């Protein structure tokens, strides 16, 4: 296939490389030039502007947020000038409101639009092992399924309206944030009773909570380093988007509100650039515990 | 060993049976007589009163709550009259404050006291596959370890002070309650966007949340039957005990507060006797969704 | 009238003095002897035990909490031995559950019981200017109204069942706690934007919030001294009782839950013995502000 | 003075009329023409576009929200073409972020900018009795003080940076929202105990909470009609702006989060267009009470 690829951040680079290595003709664009050079050396074609990405069979957009997608895609006549047979796959974690706006814009332009945010970190993307949450009309998803199969270990179809995939992605990140907060509160509680929090997380992750979410984040919480990872400000962005999605549909999310307050607290205390599991420092601080387990 | 066993509820029956079948001399007491008869037919010796349970090498107390333990153990001179070499194992989920009171009472009476609340449902108890959270002095735990090995698949030592095991148990139940609430909010959110909540839970339990806690409770939430299981009022009791433990140690638990409010809401709406995952109905009701997934 | 008076704390002393000065025959009891001596010099009669307080036309109980009332009143045969024409007025802030227990105990003993918790500080009590929240059967209230008129500026009848007055009292203290928390959050917000919080409270108390609750507490919050006053631990007790009253009736109180968490946070940070408006330090700390306005 | 006036909604009409009646030369613009005609009959001059408002000594903007102000003011070269001696007074309740953007835009254009959101309903505006929260450089405020004196009963200076007035306005509305929520929870609690909620609010508003905020809103809550007033969706907008202001400055606002969740709940239950005190229906519904006091 001839594929346009917009956005070569840590995630996008790995994804585009997978497509190139599988023999596809991949045309890439990025705001800063270095990743474009890097990909060109692996066989990608350089694009001068995002518009060029819409000339082939599929275009993949993997930019940071609403604003970045808006600037790259809606700021030009990219969609109106696009190949009418192309499928545009937006894999960014954008707001539900913006996903709905994209639905309208694509319908107006007569271009197929699939929303397909992903779960997984950069190394998972590079290994082609992402989980892909996909929504859009079934025929369009089917056409790009071969691309998904190169990028992800599994595609999860979530509905015919693209924004439904975004709701599901935000729900997943909300669940992660809640698992982090719950673990933070639980470990703060036991530590105040001089129970080694590592023992609690050992029980958790060996029994009822034997899941990657708890294994990964309880380890980060115990270590107390909080190297990103997933930056706390991005975590706050996603929790805010989940709250906004709830607001638009009349769904209160009291757990999300607690997490939001704590993320704000963490930012106010200088932890904005740490991994979002640093929100656990709020529970520690409120419990009168030192910022690291065991006061080390 | 000669063992006294107090409390033959759904959990206690299975545990005592395991001890009998392993060849121990088990003397049993229960407030209502029927379970005593049942166990006697399997080889247990009948006790007329709880006091009699303290004459052997170990006594196991497996009663419902603080009040039941207090009535059975502290209302008599059971401890003062006990065999001084006995180890008393309290396996009930009691409050931290009461566990500390029990520490003092046992110290005054010169009797070894091990706190060992368990994780697992009655069928798990009957199969000897419980997880045992144990705290107390190491020598005492070692002496009763053979009993734990009959009842549980694993014993998790959590500290030298018995109440530490109770803190850990309450922390585990708090984590479960938080997982239920987070799942309830997440599924309500996606359902309002017409995403099938079963698809979200499928993604969850196949990826980041591939853990028994989420598998069990997302299923109950989707089915919407809420047959107990673990009664909602007992869940509220445990969340209240977690909050009280936090209060006594200066640890705010905002997630527990949200869950508490929602459990109270559920009770006010007639769901007191359902499984505690029925707290998910609160999120559905607040989101304007019918009480069952898909409005069935 | 012949009146027994139990409990000569800061509040009780002033109230009993009012009754004596109006010419009533007042028999007093207190756990510690000094206040008894002080009142005796003003004309009170000494009682050796609480039981003696139940021989006249009315008995007033003004003790600290459930436990103190239970120890003084229910630990003896005071009620059964009481003059059957006596009205027992319990003016303490007790739990709703305990007020209901008192209803039953008095009914069993055939003694009239009026619950009449008060609003106002010790100097208000001494001046006879309390607000009295009264519940009980109308005839009994009418009989003791002359006493209420000496102690309070106004009696507010709230229902025929005594515990209803306790619910109302807890609701009032919950409202106060909420006003403190809201003021704390609002002043922390504006101060982070370098708006002088004293200007905000000036606007508040000159316009929409021109009420004693806000005048008193915004001043305490601005000054940052937090001399009690009403001790933070007592505030936590009352918020806990409001939550328990809600729990028993199926009423979630999310604001009370937030305040509870913050009072626990404050206690964990060493502010247990300050005035309960010191809970405002939690909002300041979470906002990254120094513990005193303007960083003084 | 020669004054431009942009925005003739319910509030703006009364304010502009006051200026005209005092003899000022007032040029008015509004998106819909009818209010312009109405004001013209009272002596106002018609403007064809918002730009025309910036030719005199002062311009007043009284539009609904960020978007309306942006469209009217920033969508044209109004500011760059303005009389350099003019003071632009923005009296709308806008976001803090937008107020900061306006600071920059005005500085770039060399135009004095005063932010002056108001407290009071349309009838209060018409009577010239508003409370004006003003921020900006002192000299500019002084120049427009004669206008403020016609519109308001009092001007409250809050700082030299215009956005500080917006923070204060949002703080005031947050305090109002909190007073509504606290009253809703308190009345739900007592009503579940069959205490007449009208009696509680009588005690409140005669004693510690004798303030307009509580008088107004407890009446609306008791009546249960919720005719706007201040629409619930506008209330949600302002609470969201308060949360956003907190977020930008690292200030968690847990009470605002609870209120936000409840406003979302109310909207989901069909109460979007009622007065924002209809958020009290959430507390009633969660407590299992009928939607009107006494079940009428």
Which residue among A181, A186, A288 places its CB closest to the CB of B250? A288
Which pLDDT score is estimated for D186? Answer: 98
Q: Is the pLDDT of residue D260 over 70?
A: yes
pLDDT tens by residue, B109-132:
999 999 999 999 999 999 999 999
Q: Which residue has the tokens 């002084």?
A: D142
Q: Please tell me the predicted confidence (pLDDT) of residue C11.
A: 96
Q: Is A67 on the interface with D (CB under 8 A)?
A: no
Q: Please give the share of chain D, as a percent, with pLDDT higher than 90.
A: 96
CA-to-CA dists, residue C29 to B257, C38, C42, C70, C99, angstroms: 40, 12, 14, 15, 21
Q: Which residue has the tokens 């009503």?
A: D191
Question: Which residues in chain D have their CB less than 8 angstroms from residue A262's CB?
Answer: 252
CA–CA separation, D40 vs C183, rounded Å? 44
Contact assessment for residue B226 and residue B277, using Cβ atoms and an 8 Å cutoff: yes
Q: Do B287 and D268 touch (CB under 8 A)?
A: yes
Please choose, from the candidates B161, B167, B151, B26, the residue with its C-alpha nearest in 3D space to the C-alpha of residue B95: B167
Domain boundary among C110, C142, C160: C160
Q: How many contacts, defined by CB atoms under 8 Å, are there between B and D? A: 15
User: Which chain D positions have a beta carbon within 8 Å of A265's beta carbon?
Assistant: 250, 252
What integer is the mean pLDDT of C120-140? 97
Task: Say if residue C119 is exposed, middle or buried (CB neighbours under 10 Å; 0-12, 13-18, 19+).
Answer: buried
Q: Classify the complex by whether its ipTM is higher than 0.90, answering yes or no.
A: yes
Q: Tell whether the torsion through CA atoms of C68, C74, C75 and C80 is positive or negative.
A: positive
**Phi and psi (nearest 5°) for A28?**
-115, 150
For residue D96, report the phi and psi dihedrals to the nearest 5 degrees: -65, -40
Together in a domain, D199 and D101: no
Does B172 share its domain with B155?
Answer: no
The CATH number given to whatever domain includes residue A60 is 3.40.50.720
pLDDT digits (tens, 9 = 90+) for A221-262: 999 999 988 999 999 999 999 999 999 999 999 999 999 999
pLDDT tens per residue across span D115-151: 999 999 999 999 999 999 999 999 999 999 999 999 9
**Active-site annotation holds for C2:** no
Cβ atoms of residues D222 and D293 within 8 Å: yes
Chain A: residue whose CA lies nearest to D248: A264
Instruction: Label residue A296 by pLDDT band (50, 70, 90).
Output: very low
When pLDDT is cut at 50, 70 and 90, the band that residue D228 belongs to is confident
Residue in chain D nearest C166 by alpha carbon: D190
pLDDT averaged over every residue in chain B? 96
Q: Is A288 on the interface with C (CB under 8 A)?
A: yes
Q: Given an 8 Å threshold on Cβ–Cβ distance, is D247 in contact with A262?
A: no
Q: Are C134 and C14 within one domain?
A: yes
Q: Are A14 and A137 members of one domain?
A: yes
pLDDT digits (tens, 9 = 90+) for C22-39: 999 999 999 999 999 999
A151 and A182 inside one domain:
no
Any CB–CB contact under 8 A between A82 and chain B? Answer: no
Chain B residue with CA closest to D282: the answer is: B286
**Pairwise CA distance, residues A33 & A29, whole Å:** 8
Is residue A166 within 8 Å of residue A115, measured between CB atoms? yes
What letters, b where the CB count within 10 A reaches 16 and e where it falls short, cover D63-94? bbbbebbbebbeeeebbeebeeebbbbbbbbb
Q: Do the chains contact at A250 and D262, CB–CB below 8 Å?
A: no
H or E segment to which residue C135 belongs: strand C130-135
**Interchain contact C22–B (C-beta under 8 A):** no
Per-residue pLDDT band at C296 (split at 50, 70, 90): very low
Whole-angstrom Cα distance, residue A251 to residue A242? Answer: 10
Enumerate residues 193 to 252 of chain A having a beta carbon within 8 A of any beta carbon in chain D: 236, 240, 243, 246-247, 249-252
Q: Which of A216, A224, A236, A239 has the alpha carbon at shortest distance from A285?
A: A224
Please check the confidence at residue C266 and state whether its pLDDT lies above 80.
yes
Nearest to A82 by CA among A61, A98, A65, A59: A59
Q: Do C268 and A254 touch (CB under 8 A)?
A: no
Pairwise CA distance, residues C23 & D52, whole Å: 80
Closest CA to B141 of B132, B153, B129: B132
Sort out which chain D residues have CB atoms less than 8 A from C206's CB and list them.
Answer: 154
Query: Domain check: are A192 and A150 in the same one?
Result: no
Question: Which residues on chain B are in Cβ contact (under 8 Å) with A242?
Answer: 189
C157: which strand partners? Answer: C134
pLDDT at D6 over 70: yes
Which of C2, C85, C129, C169 is the catalytic position?
C169
C264 CA to chain A: closest CA distance, Å? Answer: 9
Q: What is the pLDDT of residues B67-78, one digit of tens each?
A: 999 999 998 889
Coil, strand, or helix at residue A56?
coil
Chain B: list its partners (3+ Cβ pairs within 8 Å). A, C, D
Q: Is the peptide bond before C155 cis (omega within 30 degrees of 0)?
A: no
Q: Which of B154, B169, B194, B274 is catalytic?
A: B169
Q: Could you count the other beta carbons within 10 Å of the beta carbon of residue C42?
A: 13
Pick from B32, B44, B50: nearest CA to B90: B50
Co-location of A180 and A287 in the same domain: yes
List residues bridging with B5 in a β-sheet. Answer: B28, B60
Closest CB to A265: pick one of D243, D252, D258: D252
Residues D26 and D142 grouped into a single domain: yes
What is the pLDDT at residue C294? 57
Q: What is the mean pLDDT of chain C?
A: 96
Query: How much is the average pLDDT of D267-287?
Result: 96
Judged by CB atoms closer than 8 Å, whether chains meet at D175 and C182 is answered as yes
CB neighbours of D296 closer than 8 A, spacing ≥ 6?
D224
Q: Chain B contacts of C246, Cβ < 8 Å?
A: 264
Q: Is the pLDDT of residue D158 over 90?
A: yes
Query: Quick one: which H or E segment has residue B133?
Result: strand B130-135
pLDDT over 80 (residue A291)? yes
Domain membership of residue D183 as a residue range: 167-295
**Whole-angstrom Cα Rg for chain D:** 21
If you ran DSSP here, which 8-state letter would residue A160 be given?
S
- Residues of chain C in contact with residue D206, where contact means CB-CB under 8 angstroms, are 154
Q: What is the mean pLDDT of residues C44-72?
A: 96
Q: Residues C258, C111: one domain?
A: no
Separation of CA C193 from chain center: 37
Residues C47 and C91 in one domain: yes
Asked if the Cβ–Cβ distance from C185 to D174 is below 8 Å, we say yes
CA distance D242 to chain B (A): 21
Chain B residues within 8 A of C250 when measuring between CB atoms: 264-265, 267-269
Q: Output the six-digit token pair for B266.
A: 């559920």
Q: What pLDDT is attached to residue A294?
A: 57
- The torsion angles phi and psi of B114, rounded to 5 degrees, stand at -120, 130
pLDDT at D293 over 80: no
User: What is the number of structural domains in chain C?
Assistant: 2
* Nearest CB neighbour to D287, from listed B268, B282, B287: B268
Q: Give the predicted TM-score (pTM) of the model.
A: 0.96
Q: Please report which residue ranges of chain C form alpha helices under DSSP H.
A: 10-21, 34-41, 66-69, 96-109, 122-126, 138-151, 163-192, 197-206, 212-223, 232-249, 254-268, 280-286
Interval A128-140: pLDDT, tens:
999 999 999 999 9
Question: Last residue of a domain, which of A117, A141, A161?
Answer: A161
Based on the domain organization, do B144 and B185 belong to the same domain? no
Mean pLDDT of chain D: 96
User: At a CB cut-off of 8 Å and minimum separation 6, what does B34 contact?
Assistant: none
Q: A105 and A218 share a domain?
A: no
Last residue of a domain, one of A125, A142, A161: A161
Mean pLDDT, residues B236-264 taken together:
98
* D288: DSSP letter: T
Q: At D209, which CATH number? A: 1.10.1040.10
CB-based contact B250 C268, cutoff 8 Å:
yes
Q: Does A272 touch chain C (CB under 8 A)?
A: no
Q: Tell me which residue in B268, B286, B287 faces D288 most closely, judged by beta carbons.
A: B268
Chain D residues touching residue C194 (CB < 8 angstroms): 159, 161, 164
Band of pLDDT at residue C279, cut at 50, 70 and 90: very high
């Amino acid at each position: 296939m001839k594929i346009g690829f917009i956005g070569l951040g840590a995630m996008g680079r790995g994804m585009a490389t997978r497509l190139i290595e599988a023999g596809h003709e991949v045309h890439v664009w990025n705001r800063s030039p270095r990743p474009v050079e890097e990909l060109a050396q692996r066989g990608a074609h350089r694009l001068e502007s995002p518009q060029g990405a819409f000339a082939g069979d599929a275009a993949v957009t993997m930019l940071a947020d609403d604003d970045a997608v808006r600037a790259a895609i809606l700021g030009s006549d990219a969609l109106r000038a696009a190949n009418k047979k192309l499928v545009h796959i937006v894999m960014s974690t954008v707001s539900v409101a913006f996903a709905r706006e994209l639905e309208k814009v694509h319908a107006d332009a007569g271009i197929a639009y699939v929303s397909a945010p992903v779960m997984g970190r950069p190394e998972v993307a590079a290994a082609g092992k992402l989980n892909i949450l996909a929504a859009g009309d079934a025929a369009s998803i089917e056409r790009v399924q071969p691309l998904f199969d190169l990028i992800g270990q599994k595609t999860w179809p979530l509905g015919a309206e693209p924004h439904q995939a975004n709701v599901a992605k935000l729900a997943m990140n909300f669940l992660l944030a809640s698992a982090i907060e719950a673990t933070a509160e639980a470990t703060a509680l036991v530590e105040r009773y001089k129970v080694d929090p590592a023992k609690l997380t050992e029980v958790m992750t060996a029994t009822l909570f034997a899941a990657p979410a708890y294994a990964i984040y309880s380890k980060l919480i115990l270590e107390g380093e909080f190297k990103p990872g997933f930056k706390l400000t991005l975590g706050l962005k996603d929790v805010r988007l989940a709250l906004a999605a709830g607001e638009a549909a009349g769904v209160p999310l009291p757990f999300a509100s607690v997490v939001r307050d704590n993320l704000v607290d963490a930012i106010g205390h200088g932890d904005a650039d740490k991994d979002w599991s640093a929100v656990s420092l709020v529970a520690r601080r409120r419990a009168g515990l030192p910022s690291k387990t065991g006061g080390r």
